[in-house]
Chain A
Amino acid sequence: MRRSDTLITLLAALVVLSGGLVAGYRFTDGFQAFTLESARRLQAMNSPRLLGELPLELAEGEKRTLADWQGRYVLVDFIFTRCTTLCTAMGSGYARLQHVLASEIESDRVRLLTVSIDPRRDRLTDLAEYRLRYTKDISGWDIGRPKDEQVLAAWLTSFGVVAIPEPLTGIAHNAAIHVVAPNGRLVAIYDLGDFDSAAGYVRSKLDNPA
């Protein structure tokens, strides 16, 4: 009786242990991604997801969808113009990208796209002004906003961006540089300050289209 209990226990414990390990493996992508941010970056690298249509109003008043940019690499970032901290770094970084990738932009193989995550407050003129703060020449750099909170939610969910209220600046979000491939998939995500790596990635992909 006792001995059979020991055997049953060992079997049961083994099953539970395996179950625990499988769950642990599954929910950390093989014990690699312990945060959602690292999970979405890993996903972009390993199984890039299709981003879909995603409508946007550009600062010039045109209506577009993300799918309209297909056929070229698009570097997408999310900002709100009230933001006085990280978004200013994003802005000057994008101006630098515009400069570094000038020839790729000119041959229409790369576009920069800035999307507002505060469509209620950011008017189209605010967006145009934001861009003008960092560059005189706006070619190759589009800026726009989703028309309402619902469309914004679609953008955020697709990219895996989470925006939450923050007392000091208004909104906190996992800001990054998102690389969308010509086929419309999110293929890489770079840290806020890592503009050179993002540019290097795009350039190497354009040079060796594997």
Chain B
Amino acid sequence: MTVTISARQAATASVLLWVFLITPPLRTALESSMLLHMLVQLPTLFLIGFALGWAWRQVPPQSITGRALSTLIRANRWGMTGLIAAAFTMTLWMLPRLLDSARLDFGFDVAKFLTVSLLGGLAVSVSWRATPAILRAVIHLEVVATLLRFGWGYLASEERLCLVYLVGDQQRTGGALLVLGAIYALIVVWRPLFGGLGIKSAGNSRPAV
């Protein structure tokens, strides 16, 4: 069974979901707890950007958007520029201070919605294919390290780090980040260690990382 999604459909769906997420009922609901804010809202915004980037890569190279992409890609060899942007964006929005600011100040929240989608997900999406395997491995390692670092920080701190979230919520978030880091690490090492067990269809031999 194959379901093909057109670039236009993916882009439309992404934008709609983004608008849905930023409108008050869902935005307030997802920001009411630190766990949802960090582990549901931020990843979803990242994935929205990622889908937009995928859609962008599907457009014909002669079109205006296609030419814009090839210009952008010239300044993004090895995906370096995009990955640096994503690293700063994602790390900053995981800090307690910026989680607080996003919740308390709508201006910050709009900045979060835009940057996590565009400088995070979309940037990774248009960069990743150009990234050499070694650099990919380094980035995977850094993602795992960052998730564990933040996870441990939030889990172990006895102080309430966010003014808008309670300590129990903070500790649950820390624990969840540790679990997420572990799952991420497992997924990344699975193929190099055990081959494509059940993940890709047989005979599809793609580079490991």
Contacts and interface: CB of A to CB of B under 8 A. Distances in A.
Q: Looking at chain B, what size class is its interface with the partner chain?
A: 20 to 34
A9 B78 contact: yes
A11 B74 CA distance: 11
Interface string A122-145: 000000000000000000000000
Interface string A150-180: 0000000000001010100000101000000
A45 interface: no
B75 interface: yes
Contact of A8 (B75, B96, B163, B165): B75
A50 interface: no
A127 to B, nearest CB: 24
B162 interface: yes
Given A5-B77, A35-B100, A36-B101, A162 B92 contact: no
B96 A36 contact: yes
Interface stretch (B2-10, B36-44, B82-90, B190-198): B82-90
Secondary structure call for the B interface:
helix
Contacts of A23: 88, 92
Interface in B99-119: 100-101, 104
A8 B84 contact: no
Given A13-B80, A23-B88, A27-B92, A5 B74 contact: yes
| Chain A interface, >50% SS class | helix
Contacts of A21: 88
B77 A35 contact: no
B34 to A, nearest CB: 11
A101 interface: no
A6 interface: yes
B166 A166 contact: yes
A9 B81 contact: yes
10 contacts: A12-B75, A12-B76, A20-B85, A20-B88, A21-B88, A24-B88, A27-B101, A28-B95, A36-B104, A162-B163
Given A28-B95, A162-B100, 7 more contacts: A9-B80, A13-B84, A19-B85, A20-B89, A36-B97, A166-B166, A172-B166
Interface of B: 74-78, 80-81, 84-85, 87-89, 92, 95-98, 100-101, 104, 160-166
